[in-house]
Amino acid sequence: MFIYTNISIMSKPLIAGNWKMHLSEPQSRGLAEQVEAQAAAYADTVETAVFPSSIALSSVNSLVESTATGVQNIYFADEGAFTGEIAAAQVSDVADYAIVGHSERRYVFGETDETVARKTAACIRNHITPIVCVGETLHERQENETVQVLNDQISTGLTMITSEDVAGSVIAYEPVWAIGTGENAKPEDVASAARTIDRAIGEMFGRKTADQVRVLYGGSVSSETAGSYLDLEEISGLLVGGASLKEHEFKAIIERAANGGAETGKS
Ligand code: PEP
C-alpha cells in the first residue's frame, strides 16, 4: 500500500500512468516494479500513481510502497446485479485513486456528465480520490465551445459532492483530440483551460476550495513534452497514457517532474 512521505502531498506534482486495457497480470507486476524503483527514488518531490487493468490492481498494489495505485473506472452503485462492473466499495482497500469520466468512457461507452457525478460521489463515499477527466472534442474546440464544455462538465460532474470533497479531488484536463493521437495541446491552451476549470470550481465552491484542487494535464504526453506542461503554474501534474507503458519514458517523466516541474503553489 502507498505510504505518504512527510512533505505535503499538495506541493508535489502527481504523475499518474493510465495503463488502459494493456498488459497481462505478470507484465503489470513487472512494470510496477520498475516504476516503484523510480517512485521511491523521487518520493520526496513527486507523487507517482499507476492505474493497471483491474485484473492486476490488487497484485500491483501489494508490491508497491512509494507508488499510489488506482482503478481506471468504477460503477456508481456499491453492490448489486451489475454484471461485469466493479464497485468503488470493492476496490477501496487497493485503490487510492479512481479515474472518472475518461474520454474513452464518455465517447466509447456513452458516459454522461450525470454518470460522472454519480461515480465521483461513489469514490468519495468509499474514500477513493477521484480524478475527474474533462475536455473538449476537436469539433467543440473549433466551434469555440471549450469554455462552455468545461464549465458544463465541471458543474454537473461535481454536483453530488461537498466543497470539502472537491478540495481533495483531482481534475484532469484531457482534450479528447489529444488522447492517444500524438497531438500535443499547446501549453498556453492547457493553462487557459486549467484557469477555466479553476474559475468554474471557484464559482461553485468558493476560492478556498478551488485553490486546493489539483489540475492535471493529459493528452499524448511524452518525456519530451512533459516539461512544457509541468512548468505551468496552473498544472499540478500529468495523466499519462501511452508513454506510461514504456518503462524508460515514464521514468523520465517522473524524473522531469522531480527536477523542478509543477511548483503548484497550491496547499
Ligand atoms: C489517457 O489515457 O488519459 C491519456 C492521456 O492517454 P495518452 O497519453 O496516450 O494520450
Q: Give the CA distances from residue 61 to residues 126, 130, 203, in Å, rounded to whole numbers and listed in that order.
A: 17, 17, 37
Closest residue (by CA) to atom 3 of ligand 1?
Answer: 241
Is there a domain that residue 264 lies in?
Answer: no
Is there a domain that residue 4 lies in?
Answer: no
Is there a domain that residue 3 lies in?
Answer: no
Q: Is the pTM of this model over 0.85?
A: yes
The answer to whether 20 and 72 are in contact (CB under 8 A) is yes
The answer to whether 209 and 248 are in contact (CB under 8 A) is no
Q: Give the CA distances from residue 174 to residues 33, 64, 78, 132, 242, in Å, rounded to whole numbers and listed in that order.
A: 27, 27, 27, 10, 14
Residue 246 DSSP code: S
Overall domain count for the chain: 1
How far, in Å, is the centroid of ligand 1 from the Cα of 206?
A: 30
Residue 143 annotated as catalytic: no
pLDDT at position 46 is 98
Mean pLDDT by 10 residues, the chain (267 residues): 42 96 98 98 98 98 98 98 98 98 96 98 98 97 97 98 98 95 94 98 98 97 97 97 98 95 43
Structural domain boundaries enclosing 131: 9-258
Residue 85 annotated as catalytic: no
Here the CATH number for the domain that contains residue 92 is 3.20.20.70
Is there a domain that residue 267 lies in?
Answer: no
Is there a domain that residue 263 lies in?
Answer: no
Is there a domain that residue 2 lies in?
Answer: no
pLDDT at position 10 is 55
The answer to whether 67 and 35 are in contact (CB under 8 A) is yes
Q: Report the nearest atom of ligand 1 relative to the CA of 102.
A: 3
